[in-house]
Amino acid sequence: MITEGNILEMKQDRKAVDERQHMILEMVKERGEVHTEELSEALGISLMTVRRYLRSLEERGVLQRVHGGAVSKEKSSTVRATEEVNNCRRRISEYAAGLVSENETIYINGSMTALNMLKYAEDKTIIVITNNGAAVAGNFGSSVSIKLTGGLLHNHILVGDMTMQTLLETHADKAFLGCAAVYDDGEFRYDVPTEIGINEIMVARTREHLYILADHTKLRPRTEKGNSYGSCRYSCAHTLITDELADPQVLESLRQEGINVITVPVK
């Protein structure tokens, strides 16, 4: 039998639930991510109750549950976008690895996408000449031999006279280079301007083909012709390897500039 006292008690319980869920939502918005243990301790409620509240808030569309807690809608979107880009880069690396043949020597610059292609080299015996300092920590298998150029370490990239002198004493069958951006007028941008000279030496000392690796986020229209700082063009034949999420208009413009373009599927 429902009495006035029962109704009052239910209203008080509902108010307590609303207040706790509001506190949870505020913590998630403030931090971006919280764990169930933190919420349980902060609110003085059980883990089971926290999970029930999180499920209710997710059903309302105000946060997203993850393993061990919850994240804000904003962070959830950022995480998904980051995962998508990382997946595109993995696919590009994997495709590029398939272009390397047994017993070839290749150049790799400071690009992590280019360096990670070595993870997919399988059992191919290859020699890699690179100014990418991150190669030291790479686990690429015993069939991959790494020759570092030496030089001054700028973040993870080796630059300077020693780097260029070492490259001038070498040759490679193919070059796999990354970049900071690809403009639809055929220019490639590098955030470390000294990389341009290093890359040009790699290109000049390459016997067969030049590949540029860039995911779709790096392809963009040239909205300002004057914005050419750290940019260059390659006069030799070269192929851009990107992913299928790239802007079709930018891809068409690049093809009109004479650049061979390969789009890699990402699903």
Q: Map out the domains of the chain as residue ranges.
A: 4-75, 98-264
- What dihedral do alpha carbons 54, 56, 59, 64 form, nearest 10°? -10
**Torsion-angle region of 184 (φ positive above 0: left; ψ -120 to 50: alpha; else: beta):** alpha
Q: Is the pLDDT of residue 263 over 60?
A: yes
pLDDT at 5: 44
The rounded distance, in Å, linking the Cα atoms of 182 and 247 is 12
Mean pLDDT of 223-251: 84
CB 54 within 8 A of CB 35: no
DSSP 3-state of 265: coil
Share of the chain above pLDDT 90, in %: 61
pLDDT at 63: 86
Give the torsion sign (CA, 221, 223, 228, 234).
positive
Q: Is the pLDDT of residue 133 over 50?
A: yes
Who has greater pLDDT, 256 or 139? 256
Mean pLDDT of 80-106: 93
- Name the token pair of 198: 């290093």
Mean pLDDT of 112-137: 93
Q: Is the pLDDT of residue 81 over 80?
A: no
Q: Is the pLDDT of residue 25 over 70?
A: yes
- What dihedral do alpha carbons 191, 195, 199, 201 form, nearest 10°? 160
DSSP state, 137?
G
pLDDT tens string 171-218: 999 999 999 999 999 999 987 778 889 999 999 999 999 999 999 999
Who has greater pLDDT, 66 or 86? 86
Q: Is the pLDDT of residue 244 over 50?
A: yes
Who has greater pLDDT, 223 or 174? 174
Q: Is the pLDDT of residue 39 over 50?
A: yes
Who has greater pLDDT, 74 or 209? 209
Is CATH 1.10.10.10 what the domain over 4-75 is classified as, yes or no?
yes
pLDDT at 61: 86
CB within 8 Å of 81: residues ≥ 6 apart: none
pTM, entire model: 0.74
For the chain, where are the E strands, in sequence order? 33-35, 63-66, 69-72, 105-108, 126-130, 144-148, 152-154, 157-159, 172-178, 181-183, 188-189, 206-213, 219-220, 231-232, 238-243, 260-264
pLDDT at 195: 86
Is CATH 3.40.50.1360 what the domain over 98-264 is classified as, yes or no?
yes
